[in-house]
Amino acid sequence: MYLGIDVGTSSVKAVLMNGAGQLADQGSAPLTVERRHPLWSEQDADSWWTATVAAVRALPEKDRKSVQAIGLSGQMHGATLLDGSDKPLRPAILWNDGRSEAECAELERLEPRSRQITGNIAMPGFTAPKLLWVKHHEPEVFAKTKTVLLPKDYVRLKLTGEKAGDMSDNSGTLWLDVGKREWSDAMLKATGLTRSHMPKAVEGSAPTGKLRAEVARELGVPQVVVAGGGGDNAASAVGVGVVAPGQAFLSLGTSGVLFVVTDKFRPNPTKAAHAFCHCLPGVWHQMAVILTAASAIDWVTQLAGYKNVVETVAAAEKRGLNKQTPIYLPYLSGERTPHNDPFARGVFFGLSAETTAADLAYSVLEGVAFAFADGIDVLKEAGSKIGDVTVVGGAARLPYWGPILASALDVPLTYREGGEVGGAFGAARLGRLAATGEDPVKVCTAPKVSRVVEPVPALKEQMAPRRSLFVNLYNNLRTSFREFGQ
C-alpha cells in the first residue's frame, strides 16, 4: 500500500493505493477557516496535524500496517510562520486571503524583475506578499520568524522532523526562480528574508526523510519514506496521468483550472497565467485559473428556482442556444486569468421579455466555457502545445456541458473513470516513486477513458460571434466594474 495525504482547505483527505495502482480506501477529517476581518482567511496550523492523524487513522488498520511510502499534496500559498522552536507564531494566512494587495505592488517595486524570475504577477494569494504584510503590520511576529512553510510542508515537519518543499508548491510562493528550480535570493531579499528561512527545495518524487518513530506508532504506519509531494493541482495532474508536455486537464470545481504540462518555463504573467514547476523533474506547467466555474451553475439554479443542477442543465439542453440566449460574463467573484481583476462582476447581456430561465441556464454554461477559452488562448500565446485534455471535478458528471466546453475551446475533451479522487491519489503515486525510483511515466498513467467529447462544428459556428461579443463586453465594462466596486 501507498498512502497519499492531501491537506486541503476544508478537510484533510487520506487515500490508500495498492500495488496495482488502484484506489483501495480513503478517509477524511474536516477543517475550519477563520475570517476575523474582511478579506482575511486563516487556519490554525496545528489543526492540519490533528486532521491528518484523524484521516489516516480512519483507514483500515491492517492496510495501514502495509504502507510502503507516503506522499503529500495540499492547498498552496499558505504562509505558516515558525519560531526558532518550530512553533507557529500566528494562524497561517491562506491562499484565499486578500489583505495584501498593497504589498503586491510594493513587492514588484522592490524587485522589478519579479515577473521574469517567478513567471507570475504578484497577487494577494501568493505567499511573499503575505510576509510583507506581516512585516508591516505585525513586526514583532516577523522578527521572530525563523522558517516559513507551506501547509503540507508543516505536516511533513510533524511527520519527519524535516523541512522540505517541492518545486510545484514552492513555485506559488513568489520566492522561487521557476526556470532554474531554485530559491531566488533577489525575491527573498525583497521580502526581508534569506534562504535560511526556506525549507530545502526538492522534486516531488524525491524522498524527504522517514516517519519519526512516535508518529509511526500514532498513525499505525511503519517508519516509511515521505516524498516531496506536490501542490494540489500538480498532484492532481499526477493522479490523472497528466505528466508529459502537451497533456492537460480541465478542472470543473467551484473555481476552474486549465492545467497544461510544458517542456520548459513558459511564462505569460501579463495575462495572469501561472507558470510553475511540475512536481516531477524536468517538466513545468502553466495554469489558467477562473474564479467561478461550477459554482455559477449552483448560483443560476437557485436564481431560476430549479431543484438542483441536474434539472438546470436538463432545462438548458432542452432549450438550446437560440436568438434569445443572453451573453453571460461569469465573474461573480472577480477574475484571475486573463484579467486579474478583483472588481469584475457577473453580467447577463441581451435580456428581453422573451428570455426564459432555461435561457439563463444555457448562457451560464456557455459563459463559463468562454472564460475557459480565454484561458486556453493565454496558454497557447505563451507557447503551450495542448493535446489531450482530461476533464476532472464534480461538474464533469454533467454530460451536456461537455459539447459546449469542447466547442468553445476547440479541443476534444477526455472523461476518465475516477477522475474526482484529486491530489491525494497523486500524492500516493509520488510516495511510490520516492520509495521505488520507478519511471514516473510508467507509474503515473491515465485512468481508463469513459468517453471523449469532440467539438461540434455547428455549435462552434454559432458560438464564434458570441465569443467576440463576450470579449468586447468585458473590455467595455472594465472601468465600470471598478467604479461600481468602490
Active site residues: 232
Give the integer Cα–Cα distance in Å for 407 and 387. Answer: 15
The label of the residue with cell 466547442 reads 407
CA distance 93 to 87: 15
DSSP of 121-187, one letter per residue? ---TTSHHHHHHHHHHH-HHHHHH--EEE-HHHHHHHHHHS--EEEHHHHGGGT-EETTTTEE-HHH
User: What SS3 class is residue 97?
Assistant: coil
Angle, vertex CA 124, rays to CA 394 and CA 133, nearest 5: 140
Burial 212-243 (b: 16+ CB within 10 A, else e): eeebbeebbbeebbbbbbbbbbbbbbbbbbbb
Long-range contacts of 211-216 (CB under 8 A, 24+ apart): 211/70, 211/159, 211/160, 212/159, 212/160, 212/161, 215/158, 215/159, 215/160
* Continuous segment of H or E residues that includes residue 435: helix 423-436
Residue 408 Cα distances to 89, 253, 471, angstroms: 47, 18, 13
State the Cα–Cα distance between residues 293 and 253, nearest whole angstrom.
6
Q: Please check whether residue 73 is in contact with residue 7, taking contact to mean a CB–CB distance below 8 angstroms.
A: yes
Which helix (H) or strand (E) covers residue 237, if one does? helix 232-239
3-state secondary structure of 354: coil
8 A C-beta contact, residue 413 and residue 392: no
| Long-range interactions of 45-50: CB distance < 8 A, separation 24+ | 45/80, 45/88, 45/91, 45/92, 45/151, 45/154, 46/88, 48/7, 48/12, 48/151, 48/154, 48/155, 49/154, 49/155, 49/158
Cα separation, 62 vs 154, whole angstroms:
27
Q: Position of cell 505592488?
A: 105
- Residue 231 bridge partners (DSSP): 74
Cell triple for 1: 500500500
Neighbouring-strand partners of residue 85: none
